[in-house]
Chain A
Amino acid sequence: DVKVTQSSRYLVKRTGEKVFLECVQDMDHENMFWYRQDPGLGLRLIYFSYDVKMKEKGDIPEGYSVSREKKERFSLILESASTNQTSMYLCASSTQGAGWTGANVLTFGAGSRLTVL
C-alpha cells in the first residue's frame, strides 16, 4: 500500500518555538507539497518541491521554510511558531508529468494537527 507518512499526528507547541513537521513518501514521487487546511477555507499551498534540494513558494509561504535533502523526505519548518499557525498540515506527493500538478493525482498523508499556545 502506497504511503505518505507524516511523523506527528498531533503537536502542541508554545509561541516562539521552532517546529519541524516531517513527511516521507515511499512511491518515488518527484513532487512533494505542504498544505494547510483550516475550517471554511480550501487547502492552501505553503511550499512545494519538484526535485531534491529544489523548493518553490506556494500561496502562503510567510513564516515557513522547507527542506528536501532526499527524494522521499520533505520537511516543513516553522522557525518561530505563532498562534495563527495553529492548523492542520497536510503533506502530499505526486509524480512528475504535465506541469507540477496538472493531471497528476496527489497522494496525501493523514495530516499533522498543530496547536500553538
Chain B
Amino acid sequence: GQNIDQPTEMTATEGAIVQINCTYQTSGFNGLFWYQQHAGEAPTFLSYNVLDGLEEKGRFSSFLSRSKGYSYLLLKELQMKDSASYLCAASDSNYQLIWGAGTKLIIKP
C-alpha cells in the first residue's frame, strides 16, 4: 500500500534549528511537497522536490532521497511564528497526492 510517515509532534527553541522527517512509500513517484498549516488556517505551499538533493529557500530547506523514500524539512533560526503543523505529501505515478498526518511543531521561547 501507499503511506507516508512523519512524527506527530516536535518541540524546539526559538532561534534553533529543527529537522522534520518524512518517509514515504508510493506506487511510482512524481515529487514530494511540504505545506505549512497554522492552526485554523489554510495549508500553504512551502517546497517541492522531485530530484535528489537539497533545495534552499531562505530559512527553510527541503531535502529528498528518492532511493531511500525519505525527505526532510529543515527550519533554521526558528521564530515563534513557525509554530504550525507541517504536512508532507508525495505524488504517485497517477499524480495523486498521498498525505502524511502532519507534524505539529511547537516553538518555545
Q: List residues of A whose CB falls within 8 A of some B CB.
A: 4, 40-45, 90, 98-103, 105-111
Contact = CB atoms under 8 A, between A and B. Distances in A.
Given A98-B30, A103-B50, A42 B98 contact: yes
B101 A41 contact: yes
A61 B65 CA distance: 33
B42 A102 contact: no
A40 B35 CA distance: 16
11 contacts: A40-B101, A98-B30, A101-B95, A103-B48, A103-B91, A106-B35, A107-B42, A107-B45, A109-B42, A110-B40, A111-B41
A4 B42 contact: yes
A43 B97 CA distance: 9
A101 B90 CA distance: 10
Most-contacted residue by chain A among B33, B96, B100 (CB, 10 A): B96
A108 B43 contact: yes
A42 B4 contact: yes
A109 B30 CA distance: 24
Contacts of B41: 110-111
B94 interface: yes
B30 A102 contact: yes
A111 B101 contact: no
Contacts of A4: 42
A4 B101 CA distance: 22
B87 interface: yes
A110 B31 CA distance: 25
A87 to B, nearest CB: 14
Given A103-B30, A110-B42, 13 more contacts: A42-B87, A42-B100, A42-B101, A90-B42, A98-B30, A99-B30, A101-B91, A102-B95, A103-B50, A103-B91, A110-B41, A111-B40, A111-B41
B99 A42 contact: yes
